[in-house]
Amino acid sequence: MSNLYSTHLSSRKTQEIQAVELLVALNTLASRQVSVTFLGERMTLDVVALIALHDKYGVALADTLAFAKALVDHGLENTSLDIVQAIKAQKSANEFDSGSQIKATDVVLYGFGRIGRILARLLMSRPASESGLQLKAIVVRPAGEGDLAKRASLLERDSVHGWFNGSVQVDTTNNGIIVNGRFIKVIYASDPSEVDYTAHDINDAIVIDNTGKWKDEAGLGKHLASKGVKKVLLTAPAKGEIKNIVYGVNHDTIGSDTIVSAASCTTNAITPTLKVLHDEYGIVHGHMETIHAFTNDQNLVDNHHKADRRGRAAPLNMVMTSTGAASAVSKAIPELKGKLSGNAIRVPTPNVSLAILNLNFEKSVGDTKAINALIQSKAQSEQWQAQIDYSDSPEAVSTDFVGSEKVAIFDAKATIATDNRATLYVWYDNEMGYSTQVIRVAEEMAK
């Protein structure tokens, strides 16, 4: 074997040994309720994936391994940190203090469609714990024989996101699903008023309503009238005075609110980037166009639909429709009220969408290189690393971002900027990226 091949092989073997040791350290930290992220990304417990993550960001595996071991030796418990940010800031493990154990909060998923199932996957992929968000039940409409098995199968198998990385079993005796060894009760009801959660040992729960059936205080308030419910989180834009929350931008305004909205997938995708740009350059006005994957509220074939154009076959057409995402941004960034317009085009792809931002600024952005550099630096900052990702590949297409837990992926190669104007392109997995934001809002509501 030549020296070149030997050198690369030896280097890879070293990385694999380090990755295995890192897995041990991460598992130890997880058992102590320490959440460790990598520039905002979850550190998957897989050797090849861990090495790839380090290669992606150009971080030495030996450095993260040494820091993780130091955290273990330090006895850190009940806290969270980003290991790359800690290394960049040249912090030592001893500078991190243990926190008090987070209390357990019961969670109920009201509805089990696209977002509901992804929320279940994310929640049940976490290490088993008696603290934090605890998925206790799923509420769905009454159905016929075999429904439980179908629900479990839809959770386990997904045409977009693939097989669930875990075990899913049906418990017909107790009318529930066992996911990664944990029991989830399946409750059948047509209305929140029919459910007494305390009868299922569920108390002070956060109900995450992903049906979209109710969007105002009167409708969502039905959940609060159910025994065992303390707070409600809507996975759609809310009407009236209910706050639309985009985590990372205005989650600090939740306070003691008992009903909150996590806004829409598109609002979550564009708001962090708009916040960064407005803070830097000052947005005068602009237009947002989202090229959006088709959704379940469209028809597969031409048929009657209460909304304009959505009755035409989704897999065969580009369908122009409206979006409230642009106006909803102002609920998270009040300074942008009345400054943005928006429209949407549904296209024949099942997932991953693209927001196009045409913006005019108070200050000059300089050129494309300058505005790209700004977004890249923000994407790697501790403040925005969980929300914004940065892509500079000339070959990037929509399927590359399926499964991305970042709510927005900035496409640097598509940027057009000059003087006080810019056209920017932001990809987003409108299912997975949005769901991660929903969970963050739920955690904030649970304190």
3-state secondary structure of 403: coil
Please choose, from the candidates 232, 170, 173, the residue with its C-alpha nearest in 3D space to the C-alpha of residue 197.
232
Please choose, from the candidates 301, 289, 410, 400, the residue with its C-alpha nearest in 3D space to the C-alpha of residue 351.
400
Q: Please enumerate in sequence order all residues whose Cβ is within 8 A of that of 16, keeping only pairs 6 or more positions apart, or say none.
A: 47, 51
Whether 407 and 424 have beta carbons less than 8 Å apart is answered as no
Query: DSSP label at 101?
Result: P
Residue 312 phi/psi, 5-degree rounding, is -80, 150
Please choose, from the candidates 42, 33, 136, 40, the residue with its C-alpha nearest in 3D space to the C-alpha of residue 79.
33
3-state secondary structure of 367: strand
Terminal Cα distance for the chain, rounded: 58
Tokens of 376: 């890249």
Tokens of 415: 């940027």
The torsion region of residue 31 among left (phi > 0), alpha (psi -120 to 50) and beta comes to alpha
Query: DSSP label at 97?
Result: P
Whether 293 and 349 have beta carbons less than 8 Å apart is answered as yes
Q: Exactly one of 65, 265, 319, 422 is catalytic; which is it?
A: 265
Tokens of 367: 């050129």
Q: Please enumerate in sequence order all residues whose Cβ is within 8 A of that of 350, keeping only pairs 6 or more positions apart, or say none.
A: 159, 160, 293, 294
Tokens of 327: 């106006």
Whether 182 and 169 have beta carbons less than 8 Å apart is answered as no
Q: Do strands 283-293 and 243-244 pair parallel, antiparallel, or not at all (unpaired)?
A: unpaired
Which residue is listed with tokens 């980037």?
Answer: 273
Active site residue 72: no
Q: DSSP letter string over 56-89?
A: HHT--HHHHHHHHHHHHHHT--SEEEEHHHHHHT
Residues serving a catalytic function are 265
